[in-house]
Amino acid sequence: MKEINLFKVHTPPNIGKVLQKVFDEGMISEGKYSDLFEQKIANFIETKNLSLVNSGTSALSLSYHLCDLKEGDEVITTPMTCMATNEPIELSGAKIVWADIDPTTGNISPQSVKNRITDKTKAIVGVHWAGQPFEIDKINSIAKSAGVKVIEDAAHALGAKYNGVKIGNHSDYVCFSFQAIKHLTTGDGGAITCKTEEENQRIKKLRWFGLNRKFVGSKWEQDITESGFKYHMNNLNASIGLEQLKYIDSIITRHVNNGKYYDENIDNPNIELLRRSKNIDSSYWIYTLLVDDRKSFIKHMAKNKIQTDVVHVRNDNYSVFGEFKRQDLPGCDQFCSKMINIPVGWWLTKEDRNRIIDAVNKFKK
């Protein structure tokens, strides 16, 4: 019996030739391939204001920079995410304020966010857990009333929709990851979307030391008016992205079809499924189950050669965030004590899906 992987890297069949071509052309930094990928991924997300960067973490870091975070500012964020969401906040000198999550979805709780707003709040950060969008309208309404920015960490949510509109078009900044095991991988990479062309052009400068790469004439003749970073995506990663885009509709569709198949066929009184809202379309990057006896479930699935993992752990337990630790996060406590993820990706066959469902449904405490 073969082992069913929790994650698998999608590899286009001719990717070696594609990369060799970029090497042979001798332009491996930012250039024509990154320009083309930037245009095409923007078209896929259905937005005009998108900038490629070298990682999802860089996208988040840029979004916090654009919020002008300073020491003493507060950022309300979720602990239920990768450390990449919150470490750049800590590095900015701003104070992290943990909001609770909805234990039925894993997403940030609007009521908890509302309760934590102060006159020091500068931004609100939410993560679309497992590819299922959080309640964007409610969070944006709270932010608008408080005069603060909203940042969506959409690392899990490429292709997901909220109220029929693709993620990447709702909030002030939306950050995507093209890391190795995401729906679309460029090896490593990311993107950030924003509301205006003016801000988009600022981001494009900030990602490359504050210089405009499209400057007519020698780029070294221009003035740098704002210090930037080395966050741009190169032609090698972009050429991988261009190849991956040829398959992305199929990849996401298979994730979604597998996830919906689980929604309909997993039936075990010892296991809870995440709550699904009618106005959202999840991209099902991972498939989360809530299991009271998680250790026994992991052993049960391992015996059936099915990989499982929590994938992310609550950030407020890391000592690096000890200064910001809160005790009143009952939703997060409940979710984190039960949460486990099973394979849902594009690599699963129909036989794999049914084997996973059979194993899940046969689990007993």
Q: What φ, ψ does residue 214 adopt, rounded to 5°? A: -95, 10
Among 222, 245, 268, the domain-final residue is 245
Do residues 168 and 269 share a domain?
no
Q: Is residue 152 part of a domain?
A: yes
- Residue 204: the pLDDT is 97
Q: Is residue 10 included in any domain, yes or no? A: no
- Cα 131 off chain centre by: 8
Q: What local confidence, expressed as pLDDT, does residue 326 receive?
A: 73
Cα distance between residue 297 and residue 340, in whole Å? 9
Boundary residue ending a domain (198, 219, 245): 245
Which tokens is 280 given?
A: 């959202």
Query: Is 237 inside any structural domain?
Result: yes
Q: How far apart are CA 111 and CA 117, in angstroms?
A: 10
| Separation between Cα atoms, residue 226 and residue 211, nearest integer Å | 9
- Domain for residue 2, yes or no? no
Say yes or no: 275 and 180 in one domain. no
Consecutive sets of 10 residues in the chain, 365 residues long: mean pLDDT of each? 96 96 95 97 98 98 97 97 97 97 98 97 98 98 98 98 98 98 98 98 96 82 93 98 98 98 98 96 98 97 98 95 87 98 98 98 93
How many domains in the chain? 2
The verdict on residue 203 lying in a domain is: yes
The verdict on 150 and 298 lying in the same domain is no
Alpha carbons 311 and 130: distance in angstroms, whole number:
10
> Which residues span the domain enclosing 294?
248-362
35 lies in the same domain as 110: yes
The pLDDT assigned to 213 comes to 85
List the CATH number of the domain containing 317.
Answer: 3.90.1150.10
**Do 20 and 142 belong together in one domain?**
yes
CATH number at 184 reads: 3.40.640.10
Verify that 198 and 69 share a domain, yes or no. Answer: yes
Q: 25-41 as b/e, with b when 16 or more CB fall inside 10 Å?
A: eeeeebeebbebbbebb
Buried b / exposed e over 138-151, threshold 16 CB at 10 Å, is: ebbebbeebebbbb
Give the per-residue pLDDT at 99.
97
Is the separation of the CB atoms in 152 and 176 below 8 Å? no
- 8 located within any domain: no
How far apart CA 208 and CA 221 sit, in angstroms, is 15
Whole-prediction pTM: 0.96
What is the pLDDT, as a whole number, of residue 214?
83
Number of H helices, E strands in the chain: 12, 13
Please indicate, yes or no, whether residues 65 and 156 belong to a single structural domain of this protein.
yes
Sheet strand arrangement including 271-273: 271-273, 287-291, 339-342
